[in-house]
Structure 1
Amino acid sequence: MKLSQIRYFLEVAKCKNITQASKKLYVSQPTITVAIKELEKELEIDLFHREKQRISLTDDGRFFYEEVLEIVENLDNLVEVVKDRKKESSLKLGVPPMTGAFLFSKILKGFRSKYPHINLEIYEHGTIKSRELLQEEELDLAITTSGYSKPNNTNFIPILKTSYGLYTSKDQPILETENTLNFEDIKKVPLILFNKGFNINQKVIEEFEGIGVKPNILLETGQIETAKQIISEGLASGFIIKECIKDSDGLIEVPFKNPMSVSIGVEWKRKKYQSSSVESFIEYLKNNYELNSI
């Protein structure tokens, strides 16, 4: 019995289709078919019912699936443990540009002081993109914002609760009103948005769609300094997390109805084994911030 045969069997059982399993495994259909037949011959049982294009587990196949699935998962976890022991400690972390300047720099300084042996690889991404990379296990952890389509298989620990403000330059016409504004009031105002990898982009677009209006978007960017510069020059207005704004930026916050509250925190994919580097980062946050798991 070969491990490859078992992996092919498990994937076919999950997909209930050899063609789909073949695409996911990047293995030819004949290879999978032969491997499963050899496995059935060795076990002296039929693992699948085969009816034209349909395939389903037999009672024996279902029993074998449940037993062998745990074994393979434990083996995969063991491989990760061994790799973690042998390689230099490292951590791939996604950080959004908007929170990097005012929040992550403080976390980074303290963490590196306590764990100088852990090599941090930092990647700038918005929450949406970071969550995609967490699912693909291209990132170990990510600084994200809560509230918009969080996956069910990730954990999130908040670090800071804040909100987005609508900012403009001092000579913008929208400052001429004393009323608290809403999205209807700014439908014609030129806006600068953070790009589609950011939750705030999705939120603003949804708000405008809710009132049946297409927003007047001047530019989408992934850089906080670019956004602030364009706003300060009176070319557009934009939604920015309040802690990102300094007095020296010269930006004015416009009174806005129902401010968009958000929690900023650290997120990671839930799985049986976490590397010691991931555990160290999470433990550091728990010991240095007042946090409550969500």
Structure 2
Amino acid sequence: MDLRQLRYFTAVARERNFTRAAAALHIAQPPLSRQIQLLEEELGVTLILRDSRPIKLTDAGRLFYEQALQILGRVDQMKDATRRVGLNRNQVLPIGFVASTLYGGLPTLIRKLRQSAPELDIQLLEMLSIQQIPALKEGRIDLGIGRLKHHDPNIASAVLRQERLVVALPEDSALAQQDGPMPLSMLAGQRLIVYPNAPRPSYADQILTLLQDHDIRPSDVLEMREIQSALGLVAADSGICIIPSSARQMRSDLRYRVIDDPGATSPVILYYRAGDRSRHLDLVKRLISDMYAENPIWLSDNNLPGVPDAGQD
């Protein structure tokens, strides 16, 4: 077994088609098929079910795919780190994040991290929560900060806090003329704008599930790609949108009301690879705990009391 075979197999598993995988790898299909066959013979198990369209992975194939992604990701990281040491460059720490966390503690955390570890070249990559899980496994990021709970055994997570949800309203709407928390029941019959529209599951599904659990039915649901577009439509009086409380800073031309329900929250979650024992992960967890201990205004205004420890899984 060699790295070339791992790359060939992951390409086939990703494309679900030998012809497309061969094209992506810039090789002919027969040698690609032969290398996969040799890999299966060495392992003594079938990895791919070839008689389906598109092809499917067996249980062993899915496990092998997950492990192969991690191995290839770590190899790429090793090559990059080695080059950087040889060229006297800083170590890279890529961090994925969802856009809404820019209005909470993320800027403060990154500022503290730069001060505590100036040798790090911190790269911030905006990506949806669901995109951060494969990015971690493939080694494209080392840490992720998102809002979606997952069940991938290869990725560990820590819920950093539960952020309150608020309703963004057009300034001249009837609901915006009242102050104070808004009962969920008042959202019934309203035109709801959710984001992102893809990929799913996503934050949009959290919001729709919250309403379904309370048997609240909007008159219509409009799906947008990102939070900026969703709030722009609210400003245009095209509907209402439920957002994390800290994201209220994005637009000052809307009215915001906190939802009066203990379950109306969105978690902020730290993702990292299971088994990661790096000192930078420990440093990030410590800095998060220190940041919460300072009880900044954005924390007390937007979150439920009792912020968990950053190391809690």
| Range class of TM-score, shorter chain | 0.5 to 0.7
Higher Cα radius of gyration: 1
Number of corresponding residues: 258
Please name the residue that 1:43 is paired with: none
Partner residue of 1:237 out of 240, 243, 268: 240
Q: What amino acid does structure 2 have at the position aligned with 1:194?
A: Y
- C-alpha distance after superposition, 1:30-86 (max 9, x if no partner): 56648977xx9xxxxx97599xx99xxxxxxxxxxxxxxx9xx99996785464243
Residue number among 200, 203, 213 corresponding to 1:200 in the alignment:
203
The offset of 1:98, in angstroms, is: 0.9
Unaligned stretches of 5+ in structure 1?
A: 41-45, 55-69
2:286 alignment partner in structure 1: 286
Shift of 1:122: 1.6
TM-score normalised to the size of structure 2?
0.61
Decide whether aligned partners of structure 1 residues 193 and 103 sit closer, same or farther in structure 2, where only a CA change above 3 A counts: same
Match among 81, 84, 104 for residue 81 of structure 2: 84
Alignment of 1:210-289 (within 5 A): 211=215, 213=217, 216-218=220-222, 220-224=224-228, 226-232=229-235, 234-246=237-249, 248=252, 250-253=254-257, 255-270=259-274, 279-289=279-289
Contact 1:205/1:215 (8 A) holds in 2: no
Write the mapping of 1:113-128 to structure 2, written as runs, cut at 5 A. 113-128=115-130
Query: Equivalent residues in 2 for 1:36-115 (5 A)?
Result: 48=44, 80-81=77-78, 83-87=80-84, 88=89, 89-115=91-117
Say whether 1:134 aligns with 2:136: yes
**Mapped partners of 1:254, 1:34: distance in 2:** 57
CA contact (8 A) 1:164 1:260 kept: yes
The answer on whether the counterparts of 1:169 and 1:251 sit within 8 Å (CA) in structure 2 is yes
Q: Is the 8 A contact 1:208 1:215 kept in 2?
A: no
CA contact (8 A) 2:192 2:241 kept: yes
Gaps of 5+ in 2: 51-66, 290-308
Change (3 A) 1:105 1:283: same
CA shift for structure 1 position 214: 6.7
For normalisation by structure 1, the TM-score amounts to 0.64
